Amino acid sequence: MDRTPDFMQKLGSIDCDIVEANPVVWKGELLIFEYIRGLANDKLRGTGRQRCYFNNSWISYFRFRKVSDNTFSLPFGLGLHMGNAYVDGDRMVVTCGSDWGGSRFYQLESKDLVRWTTPRLILDDPKQVGYNTSVCKAGNKFVMIYELGAPKEKVGDHPFTMFFAESKDLVSWRVIDGAVFGFDHYTGGPMVRYFAGYYYVFYLGGSYEEGFETVVARSTDLKNWDYSKKIVLGYGENDYKLHPVFPESEIPRLKAAKNINASDLDMCEFNGNLELVYSWGNQRGVEFLARAIVPNMTEQQFCESFF
């Protein structure tokens, strides 16, 4: 049974083999930032084609999907991984990892989505194993959540664990000492937001035996957390719904897919509604990207509704 709240309307799957994605509004257009996985990384990990985007025989890269006509920007961020896009005025800022499980986090930016800055190193620890990032504005600063799978002394017995960095200018970042989330339990695929004194972290919880759903916790200091008892996003039959843009060649694979997961939720406001994207599938590499919408709701209302 799909435990997604009734006010969230699932619109259908738009693509496959895409997990790390987030919607943004850029110059009045709704875009979806997408991380396109490459073959080289599959071979390194021995995971086979299931981890690679079905229509990519190249290295990994990023792109933007224009929702109004389903066209795409030029590829960028070649060879980088697990990115997240954030709009700051006339700048599109992307934070990302050096590799799937790399030790370095980078930032690159553009003012036209064509010309991009050289990736700039923003966080580095040779001992860490890094994955997702997410950025939000918090008062007079920016806060980035970043996901680590190691070292054990930092992440505990239940990786993945979340840590935080802050920036005054969205250029230089400083790790926030003592700020941690999920040290004593599994977390994954984070999204961070800040409203009225609270930081909200949406993340994946669950297990392969019981399934994975998106849940949320909040904190005023990034150290002490209050966990909502409500499910934010569940998985179910509605995930199999086909959006008109879904690639026809991959329909048989979607129909045959096992679904035990609703992860990597992200959102933005557009035309008075809340636009959402998320991933569903078996949480082992067979994964699909889907859209949802919450009519007449803001991000703040969405966050606060779970507490």
Residue 262: inside a domain, yes or no? no
User: What pLDDT digit, counting tens, does each position of 188-222 carry?
Assistant: 999 999 999 999 999 999 999 999 999 999 999 99
Where does the pLDDT of residue 48 fall: very low under 50, low under 70, confident under 90, or very high at 90 and above?
very low
Residue 98: inside a domain, yes or no? yes
Residue 14: inside a domain, yes or no? no
CA distance 186 to 188: 7
| CA count, 13 A, side-chain hemisphere, 121 | 9
Domain count, the chain: 1
Residue 30: inside a domain, yes or no? yes
Where does the pLDDT of residue 50 fall: very low under 50, low under 70, confident under 90, or very high at 90 and above?
very low
User: What pLDDT digit, counting tens, does each position of 258-287 carry?
Assistant: 999 999 999 999 999 999 999 999 998 899
Burial class (CB in 10 A: 0-12, 13-18, 19+), 139: exposed
User: What pLDDT digit, counting tens, does each position of 110-164 carry?
Assistant: 999 999 999 999 999 999 999 999 999 999 999 999 999 999 888 888 789 999 9
Closest C-alpha among 2, 75, 4 to residue 34: 75
Residue 152: inside a domain, yes or no? yes
Q: Give the CATH number, domain containing residue 29.
A: 2.115.10.20
β-pair partners for 9: 293
Residue 210: inside a domain, yes or no? yes
CA distance 125 to 127: 5
Residue 145: inside a domain, yes or no? yes
Residue 288: inside a domain, yes or no? no
- Domain range enclosing 131: 21-235
What pLDDT does residue 158 have? 77
